[in-house]
Amino acid sequence: MSTSVVFNISVTTSAGEHLPAIEAKFASFLKENSLSNDLTLERVERDGAVTLRASSPWALGVARAGDWVPKAQTEFEQTMHAVDPSCTVSFRTRYPDFDEPLQERLRPSNDGTAESRSVFFFFDGEDDHVPANAPIRVPRANVWELSARLFLPGDFFGLIDDGDRTLQAVVEPDNRVWVEIPAPEQGGSYGRFMDRRELHALLRALPIEFTSATVPGLTFAS
């Protein structure tokens, strides 16, 4: 029996010498996994970086999806990083037949403890969004899931610590993720680009307070 799966897959490299091999491996992965005829392909060039993106405009039937999808994700990440260890990889899937609305799946919490965080988000393709002026509180364990959903340009999410400081991330047109801590009292923000692996590691550690000291490498811009 098959499961309906929606795919959003991408790889970004700024190392021009690796691009031909990345393109060949990307096409080979799609073909070997019977995805090349069903996914819409897109190539984006911006600021010296090239993003290859493959998305399914409709849900595909996948047999034993619970086993196949994690293996395919691992294979894709390993294949791309074997060619270019510095490339950025994203492998996002949805199961529309079974997915609860995102807010319900995040199990909103009102306990107000350090084990929960206030969040807001927008993800293209999702029906439910949470605006920055009306955040919801979710358990800490659910925060990492939000970063995993950053895929398309314009996708964003943010967290608010108990000192009312915000950490927010947005996908730029070149597929890079801009992460910043607004500092309105200083007339600017602390920020930098992060690849998804850095962002995931940061959110797994999830500092209690968001400052330029707890998020390394940020620089101030007015």
Q: Where are the alpha helices (DSSP H) in the chain?
A: 19-32, 65-83, 102-105, 143-148, 196-205
What is the rounded CA–CA span in Å between residue 9 and residue 195? 15
DSSP line for 144-157: HHHHHT--STT-EE
pTM of the model: 0.59
If asked whether residues 89 and 134 sit together in one domain, one would say no
If asked whether residues 106 and 212 sit together in one domain, one would say yes
Supply the range of the domain harboring residue 70: 2-94
Last residue of a domain, one of 44, 67, 94: 94
Bridge partners of residue 61, in order along the sequence:
4
If asked whether residues 58 and 90 sit together in one domain, one would say yes
- Whether the Cβ atoms of residue 93 and residue 69 lie closer than 8 Å to each other: yes
Separation of first and last alpha carbons in the chain: 55
- Confirm whether 35 is domain-assigned: yes
If asked whether residues 183 and 130 sit together in one domain, one would say yes
If asked whether residues 83 and 185 sit together in one domain, one would say no
Give me the tens of pLDDT residue by residue for the chain, a chain 222 residues long: 578 888 989 999 988 899 999 999 999 999 999 898 888 889 988 888 999 999 887 888 888 888 898 899 999 999 999 999 999 999 988 877 665 556 666 655 555 555 788 899 998 766 668 888 999 888 877 787 777 677 778 889 999 988 889 999 998 877 778 999 999 999 999 999 987 778 877 887 888 888 888 888 899 988
Looking at the 3D structure of the chain, how many domains does it have?
Answer: 2
Instruction: Give the 3-state secondary structure of residue 60.
Output: strand
If asked whether residues 66 and 157 sit together in one domain, one would say no
If asked whether residues 35 and 118 sit together in one domain, one would say no
